[in-house]
Amino acid sequence: MQVSEEEGREFTLHEGDFWGNLFRDDAVAYTCTGERTLQQRNDPILKDKRVCTEIDEQLSGPERRVTRCRFISTGACPPPGAHTIAGERYDEVISVYLKPEN
């Protein structure tokens, strides 16, 4: 889906990308963190309302980082079209951009 020019100006904070396959026997759900400026990292919308890219230390271990929404975190988002995990490429990715509150 193409983003309108107006949406692109209004929703500038890249929360992250979400992808996976929930229909497999060994269902997987991944997320990555969008690139953010220091001001964006401190935006209240990320701290209070949008937490699915935030690491949950209690759920995570040394080999797997898990977010508060139980997605497996892959770290910083790759370029579009480069969402590959263990050799499996995922072409259907949801990229979420937010409207900053600051």
Report pLDDT digits (tens) over 18-36: 999 999 999 999 999 999 9
Q: Is the pTM above the cut of 0.75?
A: yes
| 49 and 85 Cβ atoms separated by less than 8 Å | no
- Number of domains present in the structure of the chain: 1
Q: Annotate 10-43 with DSSP letters as a single string.
A: H--EEEEEEEEETTSTT-EEEEEEPP--HHHHT-
Domain coverage including residue 85: 5-98
- In the predicted model, is pLDDT for residue 17 greater than 90? yes
> pLDDT value at position 59?
94
Instruction: Report the pLDDT value the prediction gives residue 46, as an integer from 0 to 100.
Output: 85
Residue 1 has pLDDT above 80, yes or no: no
pLDDT of 54 strictly over 80: yes
